[in-house]
Amino acid sequence: MAHQDAPQPGRRDFLYIAAGAVGAVGVAGVTWPLINQLNPDASVLALASIEFDLSGIEEGQSVTIKWRGLPVFVRHRTAAEIAEAQAVPLSDLKDPETDEQRTKPGHEQWLIMIANCTHLGCVPVGESGDFDGWFCPCHGSHYDSAGRIRKGPAPKNLVLPPYEFVSDTLVKIG
């Protein structure tokens, strides 16, 4: 018997390859809509960043706005609140962060934070608690006037969203 080379591709091999390619395209066609539906819808993307006018907030006043479906505290702090926050030694803090790290240079009077307790996501009550900041009545977390955790089960400071000042009275969050 003579030694035979590799078998020549035939019609059956072509049909296997063609069927596999059609199957792969079919799987991709079904999978794409399922994955795409996980993307955020247009209403969420529209809220990816917002601009907020600070001029209506008096010194010592806080407002709560909504950004990406989350409540955000915007506080116009008094000089006394700023001085009190800057005087706290880092050794007294559970999550050490200076007051300067929590505000923007030249805008220290403005404190902008996501209004969710870092323990279980409750919304703290403003201008209350043991440190003249925020108090989460659900589990007893106390935050100071810079939104830093000082007492209670919360592990971290209130979260700062990404923001920048467009002008002295206009801030862009997101």
Per-residue pLDDT 10s for the chain (174 aa) are 555 666 677 788 888 888 999 999 999 898 888 888 888 777 666 667 889 999 999 999 999 999 888 899 999 999 999 999 999 999 989 999 998 999 999 999 999 999 888 888 788 888 887 888 889 888 889 999 899 999 989 899 999 999 999 998 899 998
pTM: 0.69
Q: How many helices (H) and strands (E) does the chain have?
A: 3, 10
Provide CB contacts within 8 A for 72, sequence distance 6+: 64, 65, 66, 112, 113, 114, 115, 161, 173
**Cα separation, 28 vs 79, whole angstroms:** 60
Residue 75: phi, psi to the nearest 5? -120, 130
DSSP state of 153: S
Q: Is residue 142 among the annotated active site residues?
A: no
H-type alpha helices, 37-78: 42-46
What does the angle CA 64 – CA 48 – CA 77 come to, to the nearest 5 degrees?
30
**Of the listed 3, 107, 139, 142, which one is catalytic?**
139
